[in-house]
Every structure is written in structure tokens, then in C-alpha cells.
């Protein structure tokens, strides 16, 4: 029973970590199922963990492919995103909690402003980048909730050891 509670709490922390990028949220949600599967006496718990792994991998790939494609369609270059990520990392350490987001937005705006020499075009690119980031977070959240759902289904079908 304790493992089920700890697993649920780790999943909750992981889901929060998806929205507040301090922890590797989706990874934490998935690895929490490993803790549960390791402790569960039924070998089918490992099947639940494997299925959660498939959802994790699909979510990880999708969260980069779909927003990346939209950014390319909007004309935002990969080099812009690379430099924005560098500023996001710096921002993460300079401004606690929100620094990564601020650094990313500022990075996209400054790079696009330098590229186009037009504030409106730079801001439009920044808007596309923000939408892509929100889409990426949304995809990651959906994958996280799917993992939690699969785990809950596993707990329901396989039972809680000791009860």
C-alpha cells in the first residue's frame, strides 16, 4: 500500500514538474511506475510499466516533432531556437522558477529582432515560439495523464498488495 501512495505522490510531483519546468516531469511520472512494478508481486505489473514506457516515448517524440514542424512552417529558424534555449538555461539560474520561460521568450525576440530588424516581425516569431512551447507542454501533460491512467488501471486490475 505504501508503494502505491509513494508512486501516486511521485506522479503528482512529476505532473507539476511538467508545467513548472524544474523537474523532468514526464520522466518522473514514468519512473514512478517502475517503482510500483518493482514492488508489485504480479509480473503483469511490468507489462503496465512497459506500456507506460511506450506512452512516454511517444510523448517525448511528439512533444518535439509537432511544435518543431509548426515553428518551421512559421519561419522560425532552428538557430533561433538553439540560442533561445541557451538564454532559457541562463534565465533558469538567474531568475528562480520563471527564468527559463523569460529567457526563452527574450532569446527568441532578440535573435529574431537581430535577424529581421523589425520589432513586429520579431514579436510575431516570438508568439509562434510561445505557442509551440505551450503545445509541447500540453503534449507532455497528455502523455503524463495517459501514464497515470494506465497505472491506475494496473492498480485496479492487479490490486494493491497487502490489502
CA pair distance 134, 15, nearest whole angstrom: 15
**Least confident range of 87-91, 114-118, 159-163:** 159-163
Q: Does the structure show a pLDDT above 80 at 64?
A: yes
* Residue 161: band (very low, low, confident or very high) from pLDDT cuts 50, 70, 90: confident
Whether 128 contacts 71, CB under 8 Å: yes
pLDDT of residue 61: 94
pLDDT of residue 123: 92
pTM for the predicted model, two decimal places:
0.84
CA pair distance 139, 18, nearest whole angstrom: 10
Q: Does the structure show a pLDDT above 80 at 96?
A: no
Total Cβ atoms within 10 A of residue 68: 15
> Domain limits of the chain?
2-158
Q: Does the structure show a pLDDT above 80 at 163?
A: no
**The three cell numbers locating residue 21:** 519546468
* Residue 113: band (very low, low, confident or very high) from pLDDT cuts 50, 70, 90: very high
Q: Where are the beta strands (DSSP E) in 10-125?
A: none
What is the dihedral angle through the alpha carbons of 144, 130, 88, 105, rounded to the nearest 10 degrees? -160
Q: Which element (helix H / strand E) includes 90?
A: helix 78-94
Mean pLDDT (the chain) is: 91
Of the chain, the percentage scoring pLDDT greater than 90 comes to 56
Amino acid at each position: 500500500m505504501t508503494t502505491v501512495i509513494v508512486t501516486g505522490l511521485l506522479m503528482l510531483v512529476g505532473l507539476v514538474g511538467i508545467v513548472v519546468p524544474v523537474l523532468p516531469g514526464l520522466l518522473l511520472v514514468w519512473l514512478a511506475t517502475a517503482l510500483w512494478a518493482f514492488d508489485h508481486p504480479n509480473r503483469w505489473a511490468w507489462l503496465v510499466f512497459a506500456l507506460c514506457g511506450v506512452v512516454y516515448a511517444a510523448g517525448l517524440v511528439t512533444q518535439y516533432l509537432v511544435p518543431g514542424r509548426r515553428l518551421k512552417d512559421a519561419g522560425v529558424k532552428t538557430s533561433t531556437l538553439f540560442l533561445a534555449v541557451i538564454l532559457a538555461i541562463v534565465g533558469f539560474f538567474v531568475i528562480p522558477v520563471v527564468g527559463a520561460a523569460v529567457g526563452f521568450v527574450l532569446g527568441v525576440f532578440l535573435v529574431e529582432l537581430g535577424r529581421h530588424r523589425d520589432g513586429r516581425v520579431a514579436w510575431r516569431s516570438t508568439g509562434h515560439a510561445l505557442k509551440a512551447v505551450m503545445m509541447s507542454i500540453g503534449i507532455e501533460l497528455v502523455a503524463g495523464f495517459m501514464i497515470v491512467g494506465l497505472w491506475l488501471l494496473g492498480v485496479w486490475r492487479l490490486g494493491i498488495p497487502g490489502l
